Amino acid sequence: MKLSTKGRYGLRAMIDLTIHGQEQLVSIKSISERQGISENYLERLIALLKKAGLVASTRGAQGGYSLKVPAGDISVGDILRALEGDLNPVDCTLTNDELECSAENFCVTKFVWKKISDSINEVVDGITLQDMVNEQLSIQKNFGKVEENDYEQSHLSGSCSNYTNQKTGS
């Protein structure tokens, strides 16, 4: 019951792309450097995001990526589903897994899986990429903007907990 690196990296990449793509195209290389994700792998993730219609690309020198849709119109759910596939805890289409649907426990667990996926989707569809970016920028402001490409200096270990309970509405 874990999200893979696709979802985690990909969401970060999208936030990065939004922040740095206001005026220019953003190259995979630059995201890779800022986020510490391998170029090759990132390339694959962005391909998925492109296929889902969330980002646009321009090839060639000075090329790169941009959002295809305003950040306010992209939900975290759109991003995660593009990368991870559906967010259902079980693949249960009500027609496939014959045995699990036997009379002895006829479908009864499916109600649970359905409720779980509904609640997950509700959460992730209630947060837009723009929300994430706003939150990000406000955090950066509170701590003072730091040099890019400098993880060591900028990492404030443990301070996350200051924020954990602060923001409950997006």
The contact set with a second copy (CB under 8 A) reads 1-4, 7-8, 11-12, 15-16, 34-36, 76, 84-85, 87-91, 94-95, 98-116, 119-120, 122-124, 127, 132, 135-136, 139-140, 143, 146, 148, 151, 154-161, 163-164, 167, 170
Q: Which residues of 69-79 are buried (b: 16+ CB within 10 A; e: fewer)?
A: eebeebbbbbb
Report the residue from 33, 36, 47, 106 that binds DNA according to the rule CB under 7 A: 47
- Would you give the distance in Å from CA 149 to the centre of its chain? 21
Distances (CA, A) of 148 to 20, 27, 65, 89, 140: 11, 15, 19, 37, 12
Report the residue from 20, 43, 92, 137 that binds DNA according to the rule CB under 7 A: 43
The residue with tokens 């402001």 is 141
What residues make contact with DNA under the rule CB under 7 A? 2, 4-6, 9, 27-29, 38, 40-41, 43-44, 46-47, 50, 57-65
